[in-house]
Amino acid sequence: MSSSSCVAATAASTRNYNRFLLLVAGLGGLLYGIDVGIIAGALPYLEATSGLNAGQLSMIVAAVLLGSVISTLFAGLLSDWMGRKKLMALSGLLFVISIPLIALAKGFEPLVLGRLMQGVSAGLIGVVVPLYLAECLGAADRGKGTGMFQWLLTLGIVAAALIGMFFSFRVAEVEKLADAAQLFAFKDRAWRSIFWVSMPPGILFVIGSFLVAESPRWLFRRGKKEAARAALLRSRIPEEAAIELGRMEETLSAERSNASGAGEKAKDSLLQRRYVVPFVLACVILACNQLTGVNSIIGYNATILIQAGLNDAQAHMGYVILTVVNFLMTMGAIALVDRKGRKFLLSLGSAGIIASLICVALLFNKTEKQRVDCREAVTALITADQKASLRFDREQAAALLATRGEAGAAISGRPATLIAIYSYGDFRAATRAVRSDDRFPTIDITRDSCIPANKVVAFFSNPFADLDAARTAPLKIENALITPIPSVQNGWLTAVCIFIFIAFFAIGPGVCVWLALSELMPTRIRSNGMSIALLVNQAVSTTIAAIFLPSVGKYGYSTLFFAFAAFTVVYFITAFYFLPETKGRTLEEIEAHFEGKRRT
């Protein structure tokens, strides 16, 4: 075989391996998305057939968050100890084991344990897959690889929604038979089947994790230089592999020459000055990613659109459109991220987010200026057992508004929504928004709907709250806000602005945030730094989720959307002025950039 033929064969082999690497990473993103979205479709049937109370069901839902937080905290240490490849395989294996544990469960404990394992799996995947991609892919493919992770993550969410929709249609068909026992049995099979269907991607991810090479940079820093060379040669031509090995050697030699009397361990601390700038940048970007409000806008999308003027069916159609826009625009981001660069896409995306959020805020402000607080009238409906129930039809709406004088009379007779903010002791919650023209416009306020089931969940809900006192505290209605419903045209205009929001999020922050997390920090602190930065991300996300509905109830959607826009201004400034462009640079070149900035 001629030398040119050998070169061509080598190039083809590396291209095929890189495609396989992208597929395995994408399966990791798919699992992450399924972890996040699968419970939404299964929960109604689990609630109807399991016999579990509201507190136990909330614990099953929250177990994923708890597992994710715990595993994120230790993911960096584990990836350094056992290697990126083994940790990927372990994370997939945990997901696979969790499926039969949940699907065959006959009680509360195995359900919680299975969901906790899924959360641990998601937390590990969220750290180790972007970390692995950053260390394995070449500079020209790194953006595409991380984009594939995010793209299939969005596909996982869409897949979970479609699986849930499929079973909802099947349940509707069984309901027509008017056989209660048959309906119960089918609902029980439905939620178990939803989990079983999500198992194949996990199996494929585990198999793929065993077939890919270990991270060459992880191998190199453990003195396994020949193994690192062999790993690089699977994804690089020999000349590129030699260049990257040389840069790794230069970086390691520079570290050793700069070692002080404090020793190597102290030098590797995250608190060293040369690491602070990239570490802080990554933390700010991840925090700002959540401060755009993206998780709450997606999670409460149907409620937001109902308040904007759409009916229930239209609002759920809007949610489906939202997930499709997110999925399609992520495909566009994959195509652009290695051409236009991270800095450009983050700046473009955050600018578009600011404009769309301001438009949504202005649309809500038109009607929220007219809303009326009827908390005194709703407080009068509290029963002796500290509960409240209210059918918010047109007559009841008129009766409540009559207690508010001229302000109530101004919107009386028009379709309206009601949302109540209430508390038991230190714990606050909000009801769903109900419309006075709904078929079943009932609000039920109970202690179980507000108080966490146990102290673990209570800590993550409010670490400073007194759970025991809340279990006997009286019900307090903090706000009962009646807002006139805007027109359907206003609702669809709001929906379009939210679609624009998710499009700009997908094209910029949605993909680039994973790159920022994995590319910015130096190799020797990348794993632990990513764990801490992702923990900051989850803390901000959890805080926003906890305060979103109560804040909406008290201050309105317009105020919250204006606040999200203000935080995104910080995001834009950070991306445009402080974030270096990492497109086409090796990880060692990015590290050298920050060290250079420190010396100047």
pLDDT digits (tens, 9 = 90+) for 572-583: 998 888 887 777
pLDDT value of residue 562: 95
pLDDT digits (tens, 9 = 90+) for 462-504: 778 888 899 899 999 988 888 888 888 999 999 999 999 999 9
DSSP 182-227: HHHHHHHHHHHHHHHHTHHHHHHHHHHHHHSPPPHHHHHHTT-HHH
Confidence of residue 598 (pLDDT cuts 50, 70, 90): very low
Q: In degrees to the nearest 10, what's the CA dihedral of 547, 548, 553, 555?
A: 90
pLDDT value of residue 274: 65
Confidence of residue 3 (pLDDT cuts 50, 70, 90): low
Average model confidence (pLDDT) for the chain?
80
Record the tokens describing residue 258, joined without a space. Answer: 């700069």
pLDDT value of residue 261: 47
Residue 565 above 90 pLDDT?
yes
Interatomic CA distance for residues 84 and 81, integer angstroms: 9
Overall average pLDDT of the 528-536 stretch: 75
Length of the chain: 600
Exposure class string for 139-150: b at 16+ Cβ within 10 A, else e = bebbbbbbbbbb
Q: Could you say which DSSP state residue 266 is in? A: H
Interatomic CA distance for residues 401 and 462, integer angstroms: 34
Record the tokens describing residue 127, joined without a space. Answer: 């750290």
Q: Report which of residues 244 and 11 the model is more confident about.
A: 244
pLDDT digits (tens, 9 = 90+) for 86-110: 999 999 999 999 999 998 988 878 8
Residue 357 above 90 pLDDT?
yes
pLDDT digits (tens, 9 = 90+) for 68-89: 878 887 887 888 888 888 999 9
pLDDT value of residue 87: 92
Q: Could you say which DSSP state residue 523 is in? A: G
pLDDT value of residue 58: 63
Interatomic CA distance for residues 220 and 562, integer angstroms: 48
Residue 270 above 60 pLDDT?
no
pLDDT value of residue 451: 84
Task: Identify which of 101, 141, 129 has the alpha carbon closest to the alpha carbon of residue 17.
Answer: 141
pLDDT digits (tens, 9 = 90+) for 168-221: 777 778 777 777 788 888 888 888 888 888 888 889 889 988 988 888 888 888
pLDDT digits (tens, 9 = 90+) for 505-524: 998 888 777 777 667 776 66
Q: Report which of residues 352 and 10 the model is more confident about.
A: 352
531-535: long-range contacts, CB 8 A cutoff, minimum separation 24? 531/72, 531/73, 531/74, 531/75, 531/76, 531/77, 531/127, 532/76, 532/270, 532/279, 532/283, 533/279, 533/282, 533/283, 533/286, 534/72, 534/75, 534/126, 534/127, 534/286, 535/69, 535/72, 535/73
Overall average pLDDT of the 238-267 stretch: 67
Confidence of residue 570 (pLDDT cuts 50, 70, 90): very high
End-to-end CA, the chain: 52
Confidence of residue 360 (pLDDT cuts 50, 70, 90): very high
Task: Identify which of 165, 265, 148, 257 has the alpha carbon closest to the alpha carbon of residue 208.
Answer: 148
pLDDT value of residue 262: 46
Residue 245 above 60 pLDDT?
yes
pLDDT value of residue 40: 65
Residue 267 above 50 pLDDT?
no
Q: Report which of residues 461 and 512 the model is more confident about.
A: 512
Task: Identify which of 477, 469, 478, 432 has the alpha carbon closest to the alpha carbon of residue 451.
Answer: 469
Overall average pLDDT of the 267-285 stretch: 70
Task: Identify which of 286, 332, 359 has the alpha carbon closest to the alpha carbon of residue 532.
Answer: 286
pLDDT value of residue 246: 81
Most confident of 323-332, 343-352, 408-417: 343-352
Q: What's the predicted TM-score (pTM) here? A: 0.73
Confidence of residue 330 (pLDDT cuts 50, 70, 90): confident
pLDDT digits (tens, 9 = 90+) for 127-147: 888 788 877 877 666 677 777
